[in-house]
Amino acid sequence: MASFNRLDDTRNRSSEFAERQVIPPATLLRKLSATMQDASEVLSRLSEADLMSTLNIQGYTVTGLHAVYHVVEHFGMHCAQILYITKLVRGEDLGFYRELDETGQV
């Protein structure tokens, strides 16, 4: 998002991955909610010119469209990891489709 906001990326990724303190779930959900709100605001205002522009992100030169697709895909993969691990730990279906019958209908 920093690139589309014409800001320098100031994240310290290595320290984020090195974090070993337990972060309360409510804190994580607040941070995720704020990040999703920021992303929604950025995506809602992107123009064709923004998507066709050339950006330098983490040493890679990409188009704006490539950056958007990459972020969406990356986020989706992390969500899938969290869901998979949760299913393994809980040993149960998470019930995302419980409203559907055997035919897949509501």
User: What is the C-alpha radius of gyration for the chain, rounded to an integer number of angstroms?
Assistant: 18
pLDDT bin (cut points 50, 70, 90) of residue 11 is confident
pLDDT bin (cut points 50, 70, 90) of residue 51 is very high
Quick: pLDDT tens for 12-41: 888 988 989 999 999 999 999 999 999 999
CA dist., res. 56 & res. 62, Å (int): 6
Say which residues have a Cβ less than 8 Å from residue 99's Cβ, sequence separation at least 6: 106
Q: Where do the domains of the chain lie?
A: 13-90
* pTM score, whole prediction: 0.75
CA dist., res. 101 & res. 75, Å (int): 29
Quick: pLDDT tens for 82-104: 999 999 999 998 988 888 877 87
Say which residues have a Cβ less than 8 Å from residue 8's Cβ, sequence separation at least 6: 2
**What is the pLDDT at residue 43?**
94
Helices (H), the chain: 13-18, 25-45, 48-52, 64-90
